């Protein structure tokens, strides 16, 4: 098995099309097909099934992808460190973040970084904390910004900020005081993320500790959809302050402090303890975390 075959396999897996993969690799399609066929012969496994929608990976291919990705990520980081000079940063950076952080700071951080380092290719994804943790552990991501989970992690963890969760209402919601006890939320018409969402887990942990039963009328994981519903109706929601800063500035929503107890979440950055992010990834994380700090401070 050659390293080139691994690169070709990963590219075809990600693109799902021989045409797109060959174009990305800058090779002719027959050369790609030949190397994949050779890899299948050497491993004794069928890796792809051709269909009308493209090349579909088999279960064996999905397993191989999980195994190969850390190898390619390590190679990319090693190559970046060997080739790096005092000149401009280059290479690829893959960072994940929870949607509430992406909603607040991702675009601003991306614009600032690309102006400073135009030769760096950025791949930014948002998702649930659990999925992002798995992606960092598996080598698919250099780092991720997540809600700190209650269980211990095997990843390196850097605290970023602790911020308040607030009650969010729109203009059609009946008036509420500036401070509202957690227990009173049980009587409101709520829209909250589903139980798969890390934010819901944080909210529920506070509610259970106070013996408060929160029964949302609607469950939506999309933060932008929640904000749109709150703005245009009498629904209320519980969200991190950082996720609603821009909506507050536009006058689209109001926020109310939740008290007795105060609801907070801890945001952390996780990396793999044995795969140190390269220079480009480190530089991007520095910019991203600075934006998170600034917005958390401004909204405090």
pLDDT tens sequence across 126-183: 998 989 998 898 888 999 999 988 788 889 999 998 889 999 999 999 999 999 999 9
The answer to whether residue 85 scores a pLDDT higher than 60 is no
What mean pLDDT do residues 110-133 have?
A: 91
- 177 and 260 assigned to the same domain: yes
What's residue 157's pLDDT?
A: 93
Q: How many domains does the chain have?
A: 3
Tell me the residue range of the domain where 17 lies. Answer: 3-68
What's residue 54's pLDDT?
A: 84
SS (H, E, C) the chain: CCHHHHHHHHHHHHHCCHHHHHHHHCCCHHHHHHHHHHHHHHHCCCCEEEECCEEEECHHHHHHHHHHHHHHHHHHHHHHHHHCCCCCCCEEEEEEECHHHHHHHHHHHHHHHHHHCCCEEEEEEECCHHHHHHHHHCCCCCEEEEECCCCCCCCEEEEEEEEEEEEEECCCCCCCCCEEEHHHHHHCCEEECCCCCHHHHHHHHHHHHCCCCCCCCEECCCHHHHHHHHHCCCCEEEEEHHHHHHHHHCCCCEEEEEECCCCEEEEEEEEECCECCCHHHHHHHHHHHHHHHHHHHHHC
Residue 111's pLDDT band, with cuts at 50, 70 and 90, is very high
Q: What CATH number did the domain enclosing 46 receive?
A: 1.10.10.10
Token readout for 84 is 């790096």
- 115 and 251 assigned to the same domain: no
The answer to whether residue 278 scores a pLDDT higher than 70 is yes
Q: Mean pLDDT for the chain?
A: 88
- 135 and 193 assigned to the same domain: no
Residue 94's pLDDT band, with cuts at 50, 70 and 90, is very high
What's residue 277's pLDDT?
A: 85
- 87 and 149 assigned to the same domain: yes
pLDDT in tens, 213-264: 999 999 999 999 999 999 999 999 999 988 888 898 899 999 999 999 999 9
The answer to whether residue 80 scores a pLDDT higher than 70 is no
Q: Is 77 inside any structural domain?
A: no
Residue 82's pLDDT band, with cuts at 50, 70 and 90, is low
- 29 and 169 assigned to the same domain: no
Asked if 10 and 64 count as a contact pair (C-beta separation under 8 A), the reply is no
Q: Is 75 inside any structural domain?
A: no
Residue 77's pLDDT band, with cuts at 50, 70 and 90, is low
What's residue 81's pLDDT?
A: 64
Percent of the chain with pLDDT over 90: 47
- 182 and 61 assigned to the same domain: no
Which has more pLDDT, 235 or 272? 235
What's residue 239's pLDDT?
A: 95
- 181 and 144 assigned to the same domain: no
Q: What CATH number did the domain enclosing 207 receive?
A: 3.40.190.290
What's residue 194's pLDDT?
A: 93
**pTM of the full predicted structure?**
0.70
Q: Distance between CA 284 and CA 123 in Å, rounded?
A: 11
Q: Is 74 inside any structural domain?
A: no
């Amino acid at each position: 098995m050659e390293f080139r075959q691994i690169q070709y396999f990963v590219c075809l897996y990600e693109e799902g099309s021989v045409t797109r993969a060959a174009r990305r690799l800058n090779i002719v399609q027959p050369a790609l097909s030949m190397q994949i066929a050779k890899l299948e012969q050497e491993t004794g496994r069928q890796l792809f099934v051709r269909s009308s929608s493209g090349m579909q990976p088999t279960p064996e291919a999905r397993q191989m992808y999980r195994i190969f990705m850390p190898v390619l990520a390590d190679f990319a980081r090693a190559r970046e460190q060997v080739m790096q000079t005092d000149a401009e940063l280059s290479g690829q950076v893959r960072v994940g973040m929870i949607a509430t952080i992406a909603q607040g700071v991702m675009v601003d951080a991306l614009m600032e970084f690309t102006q400073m380092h135009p030769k760096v290719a950025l791949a930014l994804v948002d998702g649930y904390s659990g999925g992002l943790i798995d992606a960092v552990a598996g080598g698919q991501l250099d780092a991720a910004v997540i809600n700190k989970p209650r269980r211990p992690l095997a990843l390196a963890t850097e605290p970023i900020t602790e911020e308040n969760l607030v009650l969010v209402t729109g203009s059609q919601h009946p008036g509420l005081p500036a401070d509202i006890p957690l227990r009173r939320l049980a009587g409101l018409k709520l829209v909250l993320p589903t139980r798969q969402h890390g934010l819901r887990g944080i909210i529920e942990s506070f509610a259970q500790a106070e013996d408060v039963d929160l029964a949302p009328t609607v469950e939506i994981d999309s933060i932008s959809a929640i904000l749109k519903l709150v703005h245009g109706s009498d629904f209320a929601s519980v969200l991190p302050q950082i996720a609603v800063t821009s909506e507050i500035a536009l006058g689209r929503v109001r926020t109310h402090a939740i008290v007795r107890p105060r609801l907070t979440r801890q945001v952390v950055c996780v990396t793999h303890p044995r795969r140190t992010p390269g220079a480009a990834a480190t530089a991007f994380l520095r910019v991203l975390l600075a934006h998170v700090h600034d917005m958390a401070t401004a909204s405090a």
